[in-house]
Homo-oligomer: A and B are copies of this chain.
Amino acid sequence: MPEHAAASRLCFSGLCFLLQILLILLFAVLVRYSPEGSPEPCPPQLNCSHRSQDPNFLQPRFQDVHVQLLLSFGLLVAFLSRYGPGSAAIIILITVFSIQWAVLMQGMLFFFLSGKISVGAQSMVSADFCTAAVLISTGAVLGRVSPVQMLLLALLEVTLGTLHEFILLRLLGVSDSGGSLTVHTFGAYFGLMVSRVLYQPHKDKRKREEQQDKGHHKDVFAVVGTIYLWIFWPSFTSTTAAHHDGENWAVLNSYFSLVASTVSTFILSPVLHEESTPRMVQLQDATLAAVAVMGMAGEMLLTPFGALIAGFLVGLITPLGFRFFTPVLHSKLKIQDTCGVHNTHGLPGVLGALLGTLLTLLATADTFGYRLELLFPLVTQGSRTVTDQALIQLSALLLTLLFATLGGCITGTILKINVPRCCADTQYKESPGLQEVKLGTVGKKGFLGLRQRQGLGIFLQLPPLAAAFR
């Protein structure tokens, strides 16, 4: 049995090696730095002096690293609070492969110039958005899939997600700069469908009990995660907003939405749970939901109170979803949702898209002014009416749900076929999920259980942090 485990470990190691070599070869053949970073001095037709003063141009250059990495790791930290540090390493692995693969995939569709992919700060930000969707999906299945399955899920989702993004943004001309549809809705429903296909009734009951317990152990991560999200989500939502004026609104709207949804948590928590103040994990969920709802509407909202109302309502819906909808999802629809991504990303994303559709319908040249051209260039060019645009935004929501559901089904089925192969043994022995189970058990038994450590070889496999907290 130990031999088998060793073989499985080496198999996984070899898989990573082959994948990385393949990626390096593809980069060598296909990818070059974009002209904006090229050795040639700025060609006159690019009007560089104008561009370099344009905050819209400068801003991604300066913020790319921050937003890009923190987005991924903000999510990482967010999941840590629910699922413990055992999952940290595997999520970092998913992140680094997803970013590389997304640079290639998105490059093929969005940044392909004369046989080469042009890479720059802009393409890194795009790759980052794509990785965010993958991490959201990961949140739905965490602890029930092996690292190999996780990796396969990431590669498939990046491919499908990029295609989906290309159809929405380029072909249909949908306005979704903050990713309500392309990141939150797509990521959440994709992950939920994968979870549905991989449903295993027996493992399930035990899981949920421990989940109740876990929350208490992870609040230190939730504090850090909430702070990270408050700092970086507004920047994230507004990174690709049409213009630096638009961006300003997207930041402020995201911020007001955050504020209001935090208050909602304080209102509902004493009603739903028998606690006077909400746990930090609940505040973190409210934070995530508040920005998901601003993804599409953030740059369209003309008044602060609109953002306050949207944040307030979504802040009420998220805890209600956790209380009443997640159990239904689980018992009736047989969908396990480890980190509750349906409540924090799926539902808020859908609501954000509906809000965006409504705002599109109300958009007039009077109220939007020059911003109308930036948000809906096809409307000002006269090739569409505002109503057409609103219908397209709405149909984009339906398309996203369809794409995510189908894509999740296909991916789940492929993962299921993949299970008994090569590294199958890692699924139960080495997945972060099982380590978590042990941690959960420790939590329930209390410190009496810990004294049995010397006798229980099993505890030696515990993730390091669990030991640190004992």
A interface residues, Cβ below 8 angstroms from B: 5-6, 8-10, 12-14, 16-17, 19-20, 23-24, 27-28, 31-33, 36-41, 52-53, 55, 58-59, 61-66, 69-70, 73, 76-77, 80, 85, 88-90, 92-93, 96-97, 99-100, 103, 119-121, 124, 147, 215-220, 223-224, 226-227, 230-231, 234-235, 244-245, 248-249, 251-252, 255, 259-260, 262-264, 266-271, 274-280, 283, 302-305, 308-309, 312, 367-372, 426, 429-430, 432, 443, 446-448, 450-451, 453-454, 463-465, 467-470
Verify A259–B308 contact, CB threshold 8 A: no
State the CA gap A179–B31 with chains docked (Å).
27
Report A470 CB to chain B, min CB distance, Å: 7
Residues of B within 8 A of A65 (CB): 231, 234-235, 251, 255
Residues of B within 8 A of A218 (CB): 464, 468
State the CA gap A31–B212 with chains docked (Å).
42
| Among B16, B252, B443, contact of A33 (Cβ-Cβ < 8 Å) | B252
Q: List 30 A-B contacts (CB under 8 A).
A: A12-B270, A13-B268, A13-B269, A19-B263, A20-B260, A24-B308, A33-B249, A33-B303, A37-B245, A39-B369, A39-B370, A40-B370, A41-B369, A55-B61, A61-B244, A65-B251, A69-B227, A85-B220, A85-B223, A96-B263, A100-B308, A121-B248, A216-B467, A217-B468, A219-B463, A223-B465, A277-B430, A277-B432, A280-B464, A446-B451
**Contact flag A97-B33 (CB < 8 Å), given A230-B69, A248-B61:** no
Report A84 CB to chain B, min CB distance, Å: 10
10 further contact pairs, Cβ within 8 A, besides A12-B270, A36-B245: A13-B266, A39-B367, A65-B234, A80-B223, A85-B219, A93-B262, A93-B277, A96-B260, A217-B468, A470-B470
Verify B20–A369 contact, CB threshold 8 A: no
Verify A90–B223 contact, CB threshold 8 A: no
Verify A277–B147 contact, CB threshold 8 A: yes
| Among B14, B216, B276, contact of A468 (Cβ-Cβ < 8 Å) | B216
Report A73 CB to chain B, min CB distance, Å: 5
Report A466 CB to chain B, min CB distance, Å: 9
Please name the 8 residue pairs, one residue from A and one from B, whose CB atoms are nearest each other, closest first: A39-B369, A219-B464, A9-B270, A27-B305, A276-B430, A28-B305, A89-B277, A13-B270
**Contact flag A252-B39 (CB < 8 Å), given A235-B65, A463-B219:** no
Residues of B within 8 A of A96 (CB): 259-260, 262-263
Report A454 CB to chain B, min CB distance, Å: 7
Verify A9–B276 contact, CB threshold 8 A: yes
Verify A88–B267 contact, CB threshold 8 A: no
Residues of B within 8 A of A92 (CB): 226, 262, 283
Verify A276–B12 contact, CB threshold 8 A: yes
State the CA gap A93–B226 with chains docked (Å).
13
Verify B260–A69 contact, CB threshold 8 A: no
Verify A454–B464 contact, CB threshold 8 A: no
Residues of B within 8 A of A245 (CB): 36-38
